[in-house]
Amino acid sequence: MSAPTKRVLLAKPRGYCAGVDRAVITVEKALETYGPPVYVRKEIVHNRHVVETLRERGAIFVEEADEVPEGALVVFSAHGVAPVVHEQAAARNLRTIDATCPLVTKVHFEAKRFAKDDYDILLIGHEGHEEVEGTAGEAPEHVQLVDKAEDVDKVVVRDPAKVIWLSQTTLSVDETMERVDQLRERFPGLQNPPSDDICYATQNRQVAVKAMAPACELVLVVGSQNSSNSKRLVEVAVQAGARASYLVDYAHEVSESWLEGVTTVGVTSGASVPDTLVMDLLAWLAERGYADVDEVTTANEKIAFALPPELRRDLKASKENPA
């Protein structure tokens, strides 16, 4: 009897979302337009390869705006920043380019709007994540973070009729709704955000993994350990039926032992991962007999975001007045 054919199921969509694409291009164009160094507050996106590549080209990554020399140029990452960060940058006379993903900006606007109307805002997200810090910073006196199930019992609201939930854009859809259901048990009047906070790309990548995982003994997710949406894909894969799932930055991090007894390997990548890393993984798998690749498509993404206005203005000026 012949051995079963080894194969790869490749999720689509995977990899770069529109917000990540915009943020990475922003730093690349800033380096081209203004020349290095270009300072970037925090990691522009949560991917090791992207950060190291931009660092080699002259980007300098800092933790806070006060590490940037007075008057220099700083790019704010795709995850967004609190108003206090803009104030710190202005106090140091920094030139700023805000590469916050427009979908994160939308959640910031929601936080400001509901704080203005004096709501208690329950923000579902991971403690310490840059996006959560930026959103909570819009209305710190109105926002309470709900991360784990036990946080639900700690929430205190002033008026149960004026409570709304918002969420970090990169969470697991299922886990978020589980938290919302727990909150609603305590606060039946809990209101939903005016539009879905979880990013379209995060949802699409999770849907693709759910479609693929039941047929896979192993799902490999390309992404970095500090990438929230990539870590969620690992969890979703196992919940959807994969026997095992692992997160790797590079193909060489895959352990040969993971492939023992595996006929079908699922492959996907987080929203901040360039596709070249996925292609490297496919080549690595092909060398080990997994050369047959079938793409599992659950959506076709056509969304693109314009570059930040301050960068667009300078790009236009440099075209009109070439040196």
Active site residues per annotation: 131
Burial environment of residue 230 by CB neighbours within 10 A (0 to 12, 13 to 18, 19 or more) = buried
Instruction: Report the DSSP pairing between strands 38-41 and 292-297.
Output: unpaired
Q: How far is 162 from 63, CA to CA, in rounded Å?
A: 36
Distance CA 167, CA 20 (A): 19
User: What's the length of the chain?
Assistant: 323
185 token code pair: 């048990």
Measured distance CA(224)–CA(48) in Å, rounded: 6
Whether cis (ω within 30° of 0) applies to the bond prior to 13 is yes
Q: C-alpha distances in angstroms, 297 versus 20, 159, 206, 214? A: 21, 45, 12, 15
**Residues near 228 by beta carbon (within 8 Å), at least 6 away in sequence:** 46, 126, 129, 131, 168, 170, 171
- Spatial contact of 70 and 295, defined as CB atoms under 8 Å apart: no
Tell me the one-letter amino acid at 152.
Answer: V
Q: In what order do the strands lie in the sheet with 163-167?
A: 143-146, 120-124, 163-167
Q: Tell me the sheet residues that pair with 247.
A: 221
Q: How far apart are CA 144 and CA 205, in angstroms?
A: 28
Verify cis geometry, omega within 30 degrees of 0, for the bond prior to 188.
no
222 burial class (0-12, 13-18, 19+ CB within 10 angstroms)? buried
